């Protein structure tokens, strides 16, 4: 026996052959399908190839309790009459161990395919979700780096830029006192300071702190001892000739050497001649 179940289509009631059988015997399609299932189950249990020896059309009508049912099946091509019995065509396609094994295998493959497709869909969704999460994570990381760059850039202390000497600039009282304490005439130094930095065209003409520049100017005036940068009342080259200035410098030099070594006679004679010019 082939087993306790048979394969039937879910839309069998709509098959044209079923509709034809129903029309010939005067029953509805559902009554026909029920009788077909009952008859095919008998063939599946009692035969191996759908061929039933010694079975007649009259027996089929009696089996399904419907006159003319076998003749209607023959007319529809679903039953073949032989001299030795009846045969269900294409029996191995739908019934028997081979057909059932094939049907089960097909169903199992369909389930596996459906499961694989479901897993694939889940995997695709997971990948899309992972990709989306990764994109969001990368976007957040890029935003964080940009914010860090902005914060760092804002935190960087920009190097201050200097400015040229403002018109009419003057040192503070402390600045003037700084010049006087070093034996300089504050006003003369201020005039020279203004003229110098107003005329200067190089980059050094821009200062961050002009008061500091003033103090540097005063220190340099003392360091280099420019005659024009001494106190008022001190003789300068502007008040004497160059020759007189040179003679005075020679005398001062000679006087500074007294007590150490007597000045050479030639030096004293030269000083006298220069003074007389």
- What residue ranges do the domains of the chain occupy? 12-94, 164-233, 240-277
Per-residue pLDDT of the chain (277 residues; tens, 9 = 90+): 445 778 788 899 999 999 999 999 999 999 999 999 999 899 888 887 889 999 999 999 999 999 999 999 999 999 999 999 999 998 877 665 655 565 566 667 777 787 777 666 656 666 666 677 777 777 888 888 888 777 666 555 567 788 999 999 999 999 999 999 998 999 999 999 999 999 988 888 889 899 999 999 999 988 886 554 444 444 444 445 556 666 777 777 776 666 555 556 666 676 666 666 5
The full DSSP string for 187-244 is HHHHHHHHHHHHH--SGGG-BS-HHHHHHHHHHHHHHHT-GGGSPTTS--GGGS-HHH
Q: Tokens 């930095």 label which residue?
A: 197
Q: For the sheet with 85-87, list strands across it.
A: 51-53, 85-87, 80-82
As a whole number of angstroms, the distance between CA 260 and CA 132 comes to 97
**Predicted TM-score (pTM) of this structure:** 0.36
Instruction: Answer yes or no: are the C-beta atoms of 69 and 21 closer than 8 Å.
Output: yes
Instruction: Answer yes or no: are the C-beta atoms of 93 and 99 closer than 8 Å.
Output: yes
* Mode of pairing for the β-strands spanning 51-53 and 85-87: antiparallel
As a whole number of angstroms, the distance between CA 88 and CA 60 comes to 12
């Amino acid at each position: 026996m082939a087993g306790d179940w048979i394969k039937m289509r879910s839309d069998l009631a709509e098959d044209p052959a079923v509709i034809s059988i129903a029309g010939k015997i005067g029953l509805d399609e559902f009554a026909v399908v029920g009788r077909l299932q009952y008859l095919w189950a008998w063939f599946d249990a009692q035969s191996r190839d759908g061929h039933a020896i010694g079975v007649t059309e009259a027996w089929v009508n009696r089996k399904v309790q419907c006159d003319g049912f076998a003749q209607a099946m023959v007319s529809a091509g679903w039953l073949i009459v032989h001299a030795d019995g009846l045969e269900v065509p294409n029996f191995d396609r739908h019934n028997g161990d081979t057909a059932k094994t094939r049907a089960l295998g097909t169903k199992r493959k369909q389930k596996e395919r459906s499961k694989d497709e479901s897993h694939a869909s889940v995997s695709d969704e997971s990948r899309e979700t992972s990709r989306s999460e990764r994109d969001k994570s990368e976007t957040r990381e890029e935003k964080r780096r940009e914010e860090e760059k902005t914060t760092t850039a804002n935190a960087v202390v920009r190097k201050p830029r200097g400015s040229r000497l403002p018109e009419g600039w003057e040192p503070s009282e402390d600045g003037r006192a700084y010049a006087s304490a070093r034996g300089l005439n504050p006003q003369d130094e201020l005039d020279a300071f203004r003229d110098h930095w107003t005329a200067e065209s190089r980059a050094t003409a821009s200062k961050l702190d002009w008061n500091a520049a003033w103090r540097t100017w005063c220190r340099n005036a003392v360091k280099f001892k420019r005659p024009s940068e001494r106190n008022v009342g001190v003789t300068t080259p502007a008040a004497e000739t160059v020759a007189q200035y040179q003679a005075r410098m020679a005398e001062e030099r000679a006087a500074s050497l007294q007590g150490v070594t007597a000045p050479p006679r030639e030096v004293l004679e030269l000083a006298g001649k220069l003074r007389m010019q």
